[in-house]
Amino acid sequence: MFQDRWLYTIDADRRLNARAVDVLGVREDDEHRWLIVRGPALSGEQRLLTTRLKNPVTGMKVHEPGVDPDPEEGGEDDSEGDAAEATS
């Protein structure tokens, strides 16, 4: 959750997309925090960014180890570098 109003979804091209949401509820315990959110651009199963990035922006390319294919050496992902598993 960013600025108490935004979530980022990850599209099929592994790029971030900002989505405005309303927080309907919060539940916390000693180790976890869960949010119940609603937003017009949210539907069914979507990948969400849960790692805190310093400056996420729409269009930023991300890589989730173990889920996404490894970036090809010398390819677009590799040449752009990565920070906190994200490439910009």
**pLDDT higher than 80, residue 34:** yes
Backbone angles phi, psi at 76, to 5 degrees: -55, -45
At 58, the pLDDT band (50, 70, 90 cuts) reads very high
- pLDDT at residue 63, as a whole number: 83
Task: Evaluate whether residue 1 is within a structural domain.
Answer: no
Q: How many domains does the chain have?
A: 1
- pLDDT at residue 74, as a whole number: 53
Can you say whether the dihedral through the CA atoms of 76, 79, 80, 84 is positive or negative?
positive
pTM of the predicted protein model? 0.64
Range of the domain at 37: 6-87
36-49 pLDDT, tens digit per residue, is 888 887 777 888 88
